[in-house]
Amino acid sequence: MVSKITNTMNKDKQKNLIGQPIFAQILGYLPKKKIEDIVKDLKADRYYKKIPTVKHLISILFGIMSKCGSLREICEGMLICTGKLNHFGLSEPTKRSTLSDANTNRTSEVFEKIYYMLVSHYHSVLSDSKIIGLSIKQLFAIDSTTIRLFSNILEGVGRNPKNNGKKKGGVKAHMLIDAKEGIAKFVRITAAKIHDSTFLNDIDLPKGSYVVFDKAYNKYKLFAEWTLKGLYFVTRMKDNAVYQVIETIFDHTATKQTGVLKDEIIELSYKDKSEYKTIRLRRVTYKDEKIKNPLIFITNIFNLSAEEIALIYKNRWQIELLFKKIKQNFQLKYFYGDTENAIKIQIWCTLIAHLLISIIKKTSKTNKAFSTVVTLVRLHLMSYVDLVVFLKNAFQAWKEKDNPKIIQLELWET
């Protein structure tokens, strides 16, 4: 009788374990061949036989998606999943000392390259959205976010604390994102004290691109160079800017309380080596009903309406939403290493995790909020249920779990 019950339980268990856990389904979005090419090109596995790059990546992604607070939590969490590791292409769990050494010594560049490869690989999936109200095809946004650390890992940011307190070290992630996709296209990780404007020297955009950023990035000489190259920008004007009004296109400050109040053509001077030069720009004054003081925009775009200039700047908020998503939904409060390299690896893997979840959210066509999708993934990381179906209809997916139609797929996408 006992044997009969045991056999029945084994059959039910086998029935329910057909398919792959959600974490394995997420890893299935990683193109195996392209990752292998990056690893080979950078020789990233040359001195790390015990933990190849793929195993390193999987381990950190596991920690980020399950919100582990330390390497110990990652390794012991994966140890509990020993019977399921074959789904991830792993034969055994990662040892903490091995993972720690890899975080310290394996170059973060390999994870950076993997991220950019994924952005390019899934471009067609992410780029089918439009920016409502804008006639331009592509808009980029630039900003930075600071991740503060109570450590001397990188140079400190901000003022020295009172009462002999310890100054916070930190890293700053400078990003250029596609406003339509909400995905970082170019990222530079620096010490927190590096000024935002230095990032503009690193970006390389095709002619005809439109870029929006805050006034911290004001560099008039660079704006003049961009104008000659056919690059267009919208930013806020600094409060202490000195300029001369050349022409007033319209002035509604006496008749309007909100919306576009004034549209002007101005000239600003800047120093180029030992010579002073001028740049002609457009100055748009806009008053939002939710903000007390008017916003002053400057731009080198002369063929769009003033209302569209204001809307371009409004879309700068997309990059703030990206920072919020990353910081609130993934593990960036606790770091898996106290070296600069380990911190960079975790940031790149966090961006990879965000990208993978964004792709899954897009392909599943779910109306659920990004934070809800991340939470569901974290709670059911090891559940055997079709992730895409689950995001569309959780109850239906769980019902199908007992009568699975999921076919055992290869772990990696080719």
Predicted confidence (pLDDT) per residue in 316-355, tens digit: 999 999 999 999 998 888 889 888 899 999 999 999 999 9
Average pLDDT estimate for 46-64: 90
- Binned at pLDDT 50, 70 and 90, residue 10 comes out as very low
Whether residue 196 is contained in a domain is answered as no
So what's the pLDDT on residue 370? 93
So what's the pLDDT on residue 48? 79
Task: Name the pairing type of β-strands 210-213 and 139-149.
Answer: parallel
Whether residue 301 is contained in a domain is answered as yes
Do 278 and 342 fall within a single domain?
no
Burial 179-214 (b: 16+ CB within 10 A, else e): bbbbbbbbbbbbebebebeebbeebebeeebbbbbb
What is the average pLDDT score of the chain?
Answer: 84
- Rounded to two decimals, the pTM is 0.85
> Of 235, 234, 236, 285, which Cα lies nearest the Cα of 256?
285
Whether residue 113 is contained in a domain is answered as yes
Residue 308: Cβ-neighbour burial (10 angstroms; 0-12, 13-18, 19+): middle
Whether residue 297 is contained in a domain is answered as yes
> Which pair of structure tokens corresponds to residue 331?
């593990």
So what's the pLDDT on residue 377? 92
So what's the pLDDT on residue 91? 67
Do 222 and 112 fall within a single domain?
no
Q: Which of 308, 328, 359 is the last residue of a domain?
A: 308
Residue 383: which domain range? Answer: 2-120+338-400
Whether residue 173 is contained in a domain is answered as no
> Of 316, 352, 315, which Cα lies nearest the Cα of 331?
352
* Main-chain dihedrals φ then ψ at residue 188, nearest 5 degrees: -130, 125
Do 265 and 356 fall within a single domain?
no
Q: Which residue has the higher pLDDT, 334 or 305?
A: 305
Average pLDDT estimate for 360-385: 91
- Is the per-residue pLDDT at 13 higher than 70? no
What is the distance between the alpha carbons of residues 181 and 9, in angstroms, rounded to a whole number? Answer: 47
**Which residue bears the tokens 């003022």?**
159
Do 298 and 342 fall within a single domain?
no
Average pLDDT estimate for 236-246: 92
CA distances from 206 to 209, 226, 403 (A): 6, 11, 51
CA distances from 104 to 44, 69, 97, 342, 352 (A): 13, 17, 11, 6, 19
**Tally of domains in the chain:** 2
Do 300 and 348 fall within a single domain?
no
Residue 276: Cβ-neighbour burial (10 angstroms; 0-12, 13-18, 19+): exposed
Whether residue 150 is contained in a domain is answered as no
Average pLDDT estimate for 154-166: 50
Name the amino acid, one letter, at 11: K
Do 115 and 7 fall within a single domain?
yes
Q: Cβ distance 342 to 336 under 8 Å?
A: yes
Whether residue 357 is contained in a domain is answered as yes
Q: Which of 308, 327, 347 is the last residue of a domain?
A: 308
CA distances from 87 to 17, 81, 191, 359, 401 (A): 11, 10, 38, 21, 17
Q: Which of 308, 323, 353 is the last residue of a domain?
A: 308
What is the distance between the alpha carbons of residues 117 and 115, in angstroms, rounded to a whole number? Answer: 5
Do 44 and 88 fall within a single domain?
yes
Average pLDDT estimate for 302-306: 94
Do 116 and 6 fall within a single domain?
yes
Whether residue 387 is contained in a domain is answered as yes
Q: Cβ distance 64 to 331 under 8 Å?
A: yes
- Is the per-residue pLDDT at 142 higher than 90? yes
Percent of the chain with pLDDT over 70: 83
Q: Residue 272 is inside which H or E element, if any? A: strand 259-272
**Which residue bears the tokens 């809307």?**
311
* Contacts by 31-39, CB closer than 8 A, 24 or more apart: 31/117, 31/118, 31/121, 31/412, 31/413, 31/414, 32/411, 32/412, 32/413, 32/414, 33/414, 34/117, 34/121, 35/114, 35/117, 35/412, 38/110, 38/113, 38/114, 38/117, 39/110
Residues counted in the chain: 414
Do 112 and 11 fall within a single domain?
yes
Do 46 and 109 fall within a single domain?
yes
> Of 412, 411, 325, 330, which Cα lies nearest the Cα of 60?
330
- Is the per-residue pLDDT at 296 higher than 60? yes
Chain segment 195-233, per-residue pLDDT in tens: 888 888 888 899 999 999 999 888 899 999 999 999 999
Do 6 and 116 fall within a single domain?
yes
Q: Residue 244 is inside which H or E element, if any? A: strand 243-251
